[in-house]
Structure 1
Amino acid sequence: MHVTKVIPLLVSLLLTGCGGGSSDPGSNTENASINAGDDFTVLEKAEFTLTAQVSPPGGTVSWQLVSGPNIEGFPQEGAEVSVTAPDVKSDTVAQFRADYIAPDGQSSSDTIQVSFTSQNQLPIPVITQTLPEDGQAKYLDVMEFSAADSVDPDENGQVVGYTWQQLSGPVLTVDTKTEQKLRFIHPLLVSNDVAKFLVTVTDDEGGSASTEFTITLLKAEKPVIADAGQEQTVTEFDSVTLNASDSKTASGSFSCVWEQIELSGTETAVEITNPNQCIAQFVAPDVDVATSISFRVTVTDPNGYIDSDTTSISLQPKALGLIQDTGLRDCYDDSTKISCDNSEYPRQDADIGRDSVADLLDKAGQGRASFDYTKLNEFADELPDTAANFSCIRDNINGLIWEVKLAGTGTVPNTNARDGKNHYTWYLDSGGSPSGGVIGAANSTCPSNIDCGIQTYIDTVNSSNFCGGSNWRLPTYIELLSLIDFGRADGQHLLDPELFPNVPALSQLGHLYYWTTQTSLDGRSLSQAFILDMQTGNDLAYPKSNTAYVRLVRTP
């Protein structure tokens, strides 16, 4: 109780009159006072009474809410008022002040504290299955359970927290354990099983309640599900990975065996690395056209359950072009040999093109590095790679057929027309060829009684239907260049001696120049044509009046 006292002012009036004095006795006045009572405690939402005792009686009492939670109905008047305690989330205190005005106008006040005790009702957990919609779940179905229908009985309460806990059953991987919903994938089971969960819901006053529920999980039709992986499209010579690690078993462990499927007997066979592992590899084989190969994986779990799956690999030919490569197989830095995958010296000749995959090529014939030639007889019939006697060579990349020279037929000009030692001036007189050719003298550098120009030699070979053809011609610059093997290191010449024998001795002319069809258009004259030096690989604009060697070519 808090009391404010009012001290009366006693005034004595002394009346003084002429001739004497008299007095009127004063009257005593009672001080105004109020007592709001002792502090007390009530439960939230309970009815209680505020009562004030006053003196002297007959005055007016009014009540004010000074602090604390909002309570409707204040201010109120009366010595005794009824109040409903507010709904509070936690224990709290309100302070009320009682003001009294006595009949004679004196005033007094007092305060009282009322403590409100929170009385929380615990939430009620309610669990419903929301997925699958029909309620029946099987392997790989998404199962979802919701606690959204859980309620807080308090008038203004709400559920604010959720905790899910698996108590028993198969191991389940859930998205989250603290959200309103629990979601997981139906596991792969060998037999039916039951999972038990405990869910706890918490309200906004910290109260919590729990309930248990069970889920029946059904066995799968197959206890092992093999997965051979996605179909792939790769380029020949690529490294390809076969991956069955996404296969599923009830036990969680399994082994794999890979094999290539022969559907029609026409597929290209490959060698699988680590075929007894779930992740295996192979190198895409050499293919001429787009094709597809298939593989099967057999998956086995520790209990002996088995399943298999297949996948297809589409093979695309590598864009290697229709020309032989250079024959270079090594890469270098400024001074030494290095690995061809060195990023500081990228895209070297040996690292790109046909030579980069020379060891993987499925050649029709033979040749060093990626070169691929087939030996032919005088009728253009194929011969074994081991044949010692052959008349022509077929380029298996672009199909061109090249003449093979003879040797030891005599001394120029007393030689066979196809002797490798014969040499000619540049002269072509048909097919719209550039002008400026020079006809060499007969029986000078060749055994012809007509002349030693290139055209006469071409006519001679065509008239004999050499190697089954009469369309022999001088090669273009690019065609002749395709014969040069820049990877040869014997210092003699850059032609494969096994396939292009009888190259003349360097000492005969002091060079190994061979004519091409390309006239040198240097803006000055048409008197020069390009040669290729078979010793160095260099090209040169060479006077047509000079002589050089000739190797004819034809299309099939």
Structure 2
Amino acid sequence: MKSRLIIAPLLTLLAACGGGGGGNDNPVVAASVFAGNDQQIIEKSEFTIEAKGSPADGTFTWQRVSGPIIDGFPLDGALQTVTAPDIKADSELLLRVSYQTTDGQLVSDDLLIKIESNNQLPQVIITQTAPATLPSDYKDIITLSAAGSIDPDENGQINSYNWQQIAGPTLAVDSSSNATISFVHPLLDANTLITWLVTVVDDEGGESSSEYSHTLNKTSEVIIANAGTDQNVIELETVTLDATASETVTETFKCFWQQTAGTAVLDNQQQCITSFTAPATEAINTHTFEVTVTDSKGRTDKDSVDIVVNSKPLGLINDTGMNKCYNNTQEIACSSPDFPRQDASVGRDSGVGSHIEKVGKGEQAFDFTKLNQFADELLDSAANFSCIRDNVTGLIWEVKSPNTGTLPNTQLREGQNHYTWYLNSEDGVQPESELGTANSTCSNNGNCNLQEYVNEVNALDYCGGTNWRVPTYTELLTLLNYGKHGQSILLDENYFPNTPNSNLLADGLIYWTSQTAVDGTSLSQAYIFDMSNGNDLAYPKSNTAFVRLVRTAGAAQ
């Protein structure tokens, strides 16, 4: 790459005086410089550059114009010995020489130096760093490392690693692209040679590979049966037995299950994964299963698992009434592992027909018996009844009388009557109770509040009892059947008829509980339930709501 700059001589024509003529005895000579021919060299090698200039006796200055950084520049003098820089890829170095003559002329020329990268390939070095004590044995974590591999280049480094197993049984490594790999010593029936091909790449793309071999010792056991971990389950649940975690030297194995304690029936004894339905029980029972694992060479091992079956925690409280299972958007099978232990698959509702025998009748696990005015039992087909006994909780509930008139021209126990929250306790009137107004929202000549109504029903010795009261939060909740969600009322209307019109009160089909809602600032609200949707709410005691009285069977009359 050459460009010479030449300054043309300045010619001055002089006219001689007196008619004579003459010439310049010292004409100006044009300056020039030549940087030499372009060169091709190898990184870190020495090379010589030499410039020639005319006229002689001028001064030379070398400068770096572009390309990799090179030490020592600028340099003065026509002849220079330079060491090529250490580079990562082929590069071009552009040098420029400037020449100044003694009479002040300045010219320059460029020299292109093509520098070839001379990358030294990396060296692969592999060592076994774990376990600390060799030889390794079954279940030892074996770690191999290529982190000691080096790049001979002065400023080079290893950029990547790749491990590939090329001999021996396939091993599951944590990562094939790290400087180190780790794996578990497997079951082996003979000492086995394992060979790895390790490839490293340096920061200039240089690549080297090396094989590394080591021996894994045979193990004392060649087959290990694994029946899985012990389980605690609830009766009637589906239980899964899984022996796939068993280990054998051979690639395949088969399983055979036998029950050594208990009475469960397996779906399939010859599958490594099988299941059974936990038997119904009134106590805690343990079922023991033994699996025999056989490899493809006929060698066997056995292991056992205990399944503890517990009776359903039915308790003395009603279930929710839900008989379907759902995910976030739609109905699903209750056996779905993604949304386990939903209401429809656990509790009392899931045991109806298979474990729970009812005293009376009712939807799902609800168990009701109709009673007459003396608390005598009636047939479930009875059309006229006064009270309902909940056979799960033991509570007796008021059944409302048919609606006959328009408020306040109604009967005492009509469902459409509604009341303010006013109740007595052993210490007198409860805080923030509201008296209500007489002959307003009920048939009472007295004030329309809860205590007035409780007193009047008890005075009737209604259904053979004088211990009628407003239900607690939990007691009222036990009547709600959430499986009826979307219907107009969440009660079984076969047992709780004469429900008031849901539009009668602005806030819906709301019923009082006996419990004050304590919010830390006031006692002016009590809990209600909306029987049309099951929602609860802290509600002002000065407002009115419906009520369904309850009493405890067998308590003081």
TM-score by length of 1: 0.60
**What's 1:310 paired with?**
304
| Native 8 Å contact 2:10 2:28 kept in 1 | no
- Cα shift at 1:524: 7.0
Assess, with a 3 A threshold, how the Cα gap between structure 1 residues 371 and 218 changes in structure 2: closer, same or farther. farther
Larger radius of gyration: 1
The answer on whether the counterparts of 1:477 and 1:530 sit within 8 Å (CA) in structure 2 is no
Residues 129, 135 of structure 1: 8 Å contact kept: no
Aligned AA for 1:14?
A
CA RMSD, Structure 1 to Structure 2 (Å): 3.9
CA distance in 2, matches of 1:273, 1:285: 13
Within-5 A mapping of 1:129-168: 129-168=128-167
Are 2:519 and 1:525 aligned? Answer: no
CA 223–160 in structure 1, closer or farther in 2 if over 3 Å, else same: same
For 1:348-367, what aligned pairs fall within 5 Å after superposition?
352=349, 354-358=351-355
Q: Within 2, Cα distance between the matches of 1:349 and 1:256?
A: 31
SS state of the match for residue 213, structure 1? strand
Cα separation, 1, equivalents of 2:346 and 2:464: 24
List per-residue Cα deviations over 1:383-425 (Å, max 9, x = no partner).
xxxxxxxxxxxxxxxxxxxxxxxxxxxxxxxxxxxxxxxxx99
TM-aligned CA distance change 1:50 to 1:478, over 3 Å: closer
Report percent identity of matched pairs: 38
Deviation by residue 1:417-448 (Cα, 9 ceiling, x = unmatched): xxxxxxx99699xxxxxxxxxxxxxxxxxxxx
Closer, same or farther: CA 83–324 of 1 in aligned 2, 3 Å: closer
What is the one-letter code of the residue matched to 1:25? Answer: G
Counterpart-to-counterpart distance in 2, 1:480 and 1:426 = 21
Distance 1:64 1:351, change over 3 A: same
Query: Which structure 1 segments of 5+ residues have no match?
Result: 263-267, 332-338, 362-368, 373-423, 429-475, 483-519, 541-552
From the superposition, tell whether residues 283 and 31 of structure 1 become closer, same or farther in structure 2 (CA, over 3 Å).
same
Provide the rounded CA distance (Å) in 2 between the counterparts of 1:26 and 1:231.
118
**1:175-214 mapped onto 2 (5 Å cutoff):** 175-214=174-213
TM superposition shift of 1:73:
0.8
Deviation at 1:13, TM superposition (A): 2.1
Distance in 2, matches of 1:480 and 1:118, equals 89
> Within 2, Cα distance between the matches of 1:99 and 1:307?
90
The aligned residue for residue 8 of structure 2 is 7
Cα pair 2:334 2:345 within 8 Å, conserved: no
The structural deviation recorded for 1:115 is: 1.0
Q: Report deviation, 1:538.
A: 6.1
Alpha-carbon distance change, 234 to 10 in structure 1, aligned in 2, over 3 angstroms: same
Name the SS for the 1:25 alignment partner. Answer: coil
Relative distance call for 1:341 and 1:120 in structure 2 (3 A) is: closer
Take 1:43 and 1:301, find their aligned partners in 2: how far apart are those partners?
A: 63
Is the 1:350–1:356 Cα contact (8 Å) retained in structure 2?
no
1:72 is aligned with what amino acid? Answer: D
User: Using a 3 Å threshold, how does the CA distance of structure 1 residues 207 and 479 change in structure 2: closer, same or farther?
Assistant: closer
Quick check: 2:34–2:109 contact (8 Å CA) kept in 1? yes
Matched residue count:
374
Q: Distance in 2 between matches of 1:349 and 1:112?
A: 89
3-state SS in 1 of match to 2:288: strand
Q: Which amino acid aligns with 1:523?
A: V
Per the TM alignment, residue 288 of structure 1 is displaced from its structure 2 partner at its CA by: 2.4
TM-score normalised per structure 2: 0.60
Partners of 1:479 and 1:63 in 2: CA distance: 109
How big is each residue's C-alpha offset from its partner over 1:268-321, in whole Å with a ceiling of 9 and x where there is no partner? 422222122212222222332334332221111121211111222222221234
Contact 2:145/2:181 (<8 A) preserved: yes
Equivalent residue in structure 1 for 2:24, among 1, 23, 26: 26
Tell me what 1:294 maps to.
Answer: 288
Contact 2:138 2:187 survives alignment (8 Å): yes
CA apart distance, 1:481: 11
Structure 2 unaligned residues grouped into runs of 5+? 325-331, 337-342, 361-371, 377-387, 395-453, 466-492, 498-553
- CA distance, structure 2, for counterparts of residue 71 and residue 179 of structure 1: 36
Structure 2 CA distance for aligned equivalents of residues 108 and 354 of structure 1:
106
